[in-house]
Structure 1
Amino acid sequence: MIDTHSHIYLPEFDQDRHEVVEKARLAGVEKILMPNIDGQSVRPMLAVEEMYPDYCYSMMGLHPTSVKGDYEEQLSNVQYWLGQRDFIAIGEIGIDLYWDKTWEREQRVVFRKQAEWAKEKGIPIVIHVREAFEAVFQELDKVCDDRLKGVFHSFSGNKEHLHKALEYPGFMLGINGIVTFKNAKLDEVLKGAPADRIMTETDAPYLAPVPYRGKRNQPAYMKNTLEKMAEVYGITPDEMDRITTRNARQLFAIDH
């Protein structure tokens, strides 16, 4: 398994990070991909990558909920780091209108700019979308061409959102613990997506799957999500693992 989206560099893991990584290894997680949030999270993230070389991989990006009045300065910081070294993706980027719509215009600008950088660098984008599918699709339609690829992280849309998301040929759907929540009905929506467009993720420390719902999520719990996904597709967990791992390796160009 590859956990394609995990924030294990956050303070929630400061007391037991090594144990969390060991549990992940024992559960069969062979890689953990870490999206950035903003200027404050870069160094903690890179420090974790350094602690676990060839196991934890960093992305670079500005999260939509961190887009405020200083967004230009924050964007400059992202651009600086992109010039310093290689990252496996630009993320986590996107639009979030759940808490606050104040900065919607700026979020759209920041999203488009980072998508353009991804095209220039030939790396995928990791899209955060919450209460904002229409806005994200509008902005994607402006910048998307055959150079842009990526993943709709923590996908939890309806059938119409799914259909539209799959129209972007280079894009995958990132599925996490939400698929195990009965009230989310994501399992029904997911039946409309081919397995070769799906990847596994946790979004740790958030969105722990049943039976851990409400607790701190961690990469080892991805096994529960994978089992539910296998049930949805009517295949074995091993086969689901093989497909989703292959998808992640291809999208993020991880070949070892």
Structure 2
Amino acid sequence: MILTDTHTHLYYEADPEKLAQLMQRCFDNNIKRLFLPNVDSSSIPQIVNLARLYPENCFPMLGLHPCDVKVNYQDELILIRQEKDKARIYAIGEIGIDLHWDKTTLALQQDAFRQQIGWAIELDLPIVIHCREAFEEIFEILTEFRSDKLRGIFHCFTGTAEQAARVIEIDFYLGIGGVLTYKNSGLDQSIAEVSLDHIVLETDSPYLTPAPFRGKPNESSYLIYIAQKLADLKQVSIEEVARITTLNSKTIFGI
């Protein structure tokens, strides 16, 4: 059984010994594929280092997180774009729109999102979308860029069943994480009718820790609890969840 964490910031751990322990706990739980989303230019060296240490297990992305889209975002985009020629990347992400923390930067976020979708289409890479309180704004821009090359994941999907259907309709995948394990999240109902063929697993470590560790820092090894919850919901084995969601990740990322 091989599980894939399609979205983890495990590289935030700066202590080499603790990082090695985090990775070993992943391997002990059969989490052997980890995709690393970028947030800004300063996080790139951390991602590159982890991918260098575990080239068979860790796969980098490049992108500017919407919460890091500030007045200097064009400078950040230039720095991030320059990095694409220095190391192989597997997606543009995480990118998108976040209206939870700051609505005043919406126009800047929209422009940054459009530019980075353009990169993805140009480079024939998937995108990994951060969408918080901005579903319609995201969809409006995705509609502008409809293309056979436009594909990817709605990271940390927590929307309604109707929104899930709209995501699937444009051939994107739902990134399902720790929220699925929360007692009253309603996410189990939103994806009750969604086939595993449209789902990938993620932790968003160190955030959104699943039960039974909620309230503590998340880590990629906890993906096993999300996978088991999904298996229970779909009434299949965890091995079947691992097989299908990992296959989906290979389809998306090409590795």
TM range (shorter): over 0.9
Equivalent-residue separation in structure 2 for 1:50 and 1:172 (angstroms): 28
Equivalent-residue separation in structure 2 for 1:35 and 1:11 (angstroms): 14
Q: Which residue of 1 aligns with 2:222?
A: 221
1:196-228 CA deviation, whole Å, 9 max, x = no partner? 010011000001110011111111100000011
Q: Which residue of 2 aligns with 1:68?
A: 70
Equivalent-residue separation in structure 2 for 1:198 and 1:12 (angstroms): 31
Deviation at 1:13, TM superposition (A): 6.1
Q: Find 1:22's aligned residue among 13, 21, 24.
A: 24
1:41 partner SS: helix
**Aligned partners of 1:3 and 1:29 also within 8 Å:** yes
Equivalent-residue separation in structure 2 for 1:47 and 1:190 (angstroms): 36
**Aligned partners of 1:181 and 1:210 also within 8 Å:** yes
1:59-92 CA deviation, whole Å, 9 max, x = no partner? 0000000000001101111211123332000000
Q: Which residue of 2 aligns with 1:77?
A: 79
Matched-pair identity in %: 38
Equivalent-residue separation in structure 1 for 2:228 and 2:212 (angstroms): 12
Structure 1 unaligned residues grouped into runs of 5+: none
**Aligned partners of 1:36 and 1:45 also within 8 Å:** yes
Structure 1 residue ranges (4+ consecutive) displaced by more than 6 angstroms after TM superposition: none
Equivalent-residue separation in structure 2 for 1:213 and 1:13 (angstroms): 23
State which drifts further: 72-81 or 62-71. 72-81
- Is 2:105 aligned against 1:138? no
State which drifts further: 77-86 or 27-36. 77-86
- Is 2:69 aligned against 1:92? no
**Aligned partners of 1:12 and 1:205 also within 8 Å:** no
Q: Which residue of 2 aligns with 1:59?
A: 61
Deviation at 1:15, TM superposition (A): 5.8
2:39 partner SS: coil
2:22 partner SS: helix
Q: Which residue of 1 aligns with 2:106?
A: 104
1:87 is matched by which residue type in structure 2? I
- Is 2:218 aligned against 1:208? no
Equivalent-residue separation in structure 1 for 2:45 and 2:175 (angstroms): 25
Query: CA 1:160–1:175 in structure 2 vs 1: closer, same or farther (change >3 Å)?
Result: same
**Aligned partners of 1:7 and 1:34 also within 8 Å:** yes
Equivalent-residue separation in structure 2 for 1:14 and 1:162 (angstroms): 39
Superposition pairs of residues 147-166 of structure 1, within 5 angstroms: 147-166=149-168
Structure 2 unaligned residues grouped into runs of 5+: none
2:242 partner SS: helix
1:133-171 CA deviation, whole Å, 9 max, x = no partner? 1111111111121111100001001122112111112x1
Equivalent-residue separation in structure 2 for 1:250 and 1:233 (angstroms): 21
1:6 is matched by which residue type in structure 2? T
Q: Which residue of 2 aligns with 1:198?
A: 199
2:50 is matched by which residue type in structure 1? V
The CA RMSD over aligned residues, in Å, is 1.2
1:139 is matched by which residue type in structure 2? I
**Aligned partners of 2:60 and 2:88 also within 8 Å:** no
Aligned residues: 253
